[in-house]
């Protein structure tokens, strides 16, 4: 679950005088990696189309003690001109008022604008006011706990020193049993290796060991030995030979392959075009629209792919994903990431979490664009 503190504001590009914009926002110096400023850049009260293709965007922050920070902004919603910035630790440590400005520069030119000056504040968290004596008492308690844990660990070490003899007896019993049955020894060796791996994990684990950990480990070993004994008795009774065992294993593999293949039956459905978009011949034969192909990958999830050639006269949405699917694929922490067209990069395609598909025109050339091989994961709803 996201724990971000997000302060959203709108900044309009204008030459008219405006007072210093007070964001009425306060972060704490303990809001580490969670304090986020989000700006919507507008011009004449309409969103500007901003992306890393056509502009550079930067933020400058000046703290109350005069420290300065210049950093890049993140493009969150290119069609609506939304930029964001997560305050780093080297800014949060400066308690007091912070003044900031947004700079936008058009790539390939010297054109630069300062959007607007704004101000917010950083407060000192109460946890920083705890006295040194109190902190020292916590350290002493931690040292006592560490000593107790080390003592328990030594006791556990002594308790399992004789385990190698125990494993040797099990190994001998395994070899005797394998002479009576005609199966591969890999299954029996797996039980032994699992026990060894679990022991090594306890000895090398750097986290705190507890008495209950050892009790759980002992229970696991006893359970494995009981299963091992029952398995030997069952296999000895039936006298399964190696040939039968291999045949049964191959049959199981074939069943698994058939089951897996049955889950990948692909289905192709047409998608309805909107907002004046038209179909263009691009190798789809007589199909009347773009299509979405999908197949189940288990747990209610589907691997999906958009296909087709289309042409749209404008920037914006041109189709929707069917209502029976919910987009799960996340790009760039959940924000839209474009898929470039395969023809001269005349458009950038977007598949959004709200089940819409849209585009941004890059130039004035009215060429069709391809939707081949645009893949995403969806969940059935």
pLDDT digits (tens, 9 = 90+) for 27-63: 998 888 999 999 999 988 899 888 888 899 999 999 9
For residue 85, list its beta bridge partners.
Answer: 37
The predicted pLDDT at position 170 comes to 65
Return phi, psi of residue 80, to 5°.
-110, 10
The CATH number of domain 5-125, selected from 3.40.50.10890, 2.60.40.10, 3.40.30.10, 2.60.40.3350: 2.60.40.3350
Locate CATH 2.60.40.3350 in the chain.
Answer: 5-125
Closest CA to 102 of 72, 78, 77: 72
* Rounded Cα distance, 121 and 180, in Å: 79
Question: What tokens were used for 127?
Answer: 């946890």
pLDDT at 67: 93
What letter does residue 264 receive in the DSSP assignment?
T
Neighbours of 308 (CB within 10 A): 24
Pairing type for strands 5-13 and 35-43 reads parallel
The sign of the CA dihedral 272, 277, 279, 280 is negative
Q: Which of 375, 354, 371 is nearest to 290 (CA)?
A: 371
Cα–Cα distance, 22 to 245 (Å, whole number): 76
- What is the fold of 267-380? Immunoglobulin-like (2.60.40)
Residue with tokens 């009347």: 288
pLDDT at 39: 92
Positions in the chain whose pLDDT score sits under 70: 1-2, 130-145, 159-188, 191-192, 195, 198-218, 232-242, 245, 253-264, 281-289, 312-314, 330-347, 363-373
Lateral strand order in the sheet of 374-380: 267-270, 291-298, 301-307, 374-380, 325-327
The CA distance from 317 to 115, in Å, is 29
Instruction: Determine the 3-state secondary structure of 115 from DSSP.
Output: strand
- Angle separating helix axes 132-159 and 211-238, nearest 10 degrees: 30
Note the pLDDT of residue 278.
78
Report DSSP state, residue 336. -
pLDDT of residue 337: 42
Q: How distant is the alpha carbon of residue 57 from its chain centre? A: 26
């Amino acid at each position: 679950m996201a724990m971000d503190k997000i302060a959203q504001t709108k900044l309009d590009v204008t030459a008219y005088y405006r007072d210093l914009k007070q964001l009425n926002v306060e972060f704490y110096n303990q809001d580490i990696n969670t304090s986020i400023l989000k700006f919507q850049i507008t011009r004449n009260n309409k969103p500007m189309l901003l992306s890393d293709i056509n502009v550079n965007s930067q933020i400058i922050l000046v703290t109350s003690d005069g420290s300065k920070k210049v950093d890049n902004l993140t493009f969150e919603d290119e069609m609506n001109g939304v930029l964001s910035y997560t305050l780093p630790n080297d800014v949060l440590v400066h308690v007091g008022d912070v003044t900031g400005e947004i700079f936008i520069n058009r790539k390939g030119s010297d054109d630069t604008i300062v959007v607007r000056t704004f101000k917010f504040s950083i407060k000192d968290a109460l946890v920083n006011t705890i006295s040194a004596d109190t902190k020292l008492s916590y350290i002493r308690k931690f040292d006592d706990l560490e000593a107790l844990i080390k003592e328990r660990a030594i006791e556990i070490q002594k308790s399992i020193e004789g385990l190698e003899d125990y494993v040797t007896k099990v190994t001998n019993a395994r070899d005797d049993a394998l002479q009576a049955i005609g199966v591969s020894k890999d299954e029996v060796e797996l039980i032994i290796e699992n026990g060894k791996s679990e022991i090594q994990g306890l000895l090398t684990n750097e986290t705190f060991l507890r008495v209950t950990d050892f009790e759980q480990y002992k229970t696991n070993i006893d359970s494995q030995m009981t299963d091992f004994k029952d398995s030997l008795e069952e296999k000895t009774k039936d006298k399964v030979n190696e040939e039968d065992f291999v045949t049964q294993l191959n049959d199981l593999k074939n069943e698994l392959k058939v089951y897996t293949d049955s889950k990948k039956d692909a289905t192709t459905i047409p998608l309805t075009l909107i907002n004046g978009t038209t179909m263009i011949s691009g190798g789809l034969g007589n199909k009347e629209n773009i299509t979405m192909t999908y197949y189940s990958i288990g747990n209610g999830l589907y691997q999906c792919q958009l296909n087709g050639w289309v042409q749209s006269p404008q920037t914006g949405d041109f189709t929707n994903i069917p209502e029976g699917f919910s987009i799960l694929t996340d790009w760039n922490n959940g924000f839209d990431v474009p898929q470039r067209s395969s023809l001269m990069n005349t458009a950038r395609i977007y598949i959004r979490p709200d089940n819409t598909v849209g585009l941004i025109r890059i130039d004035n050339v009215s060429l069709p664009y391809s939707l081949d091989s645009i893949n995403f994961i969806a969940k059935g709803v």
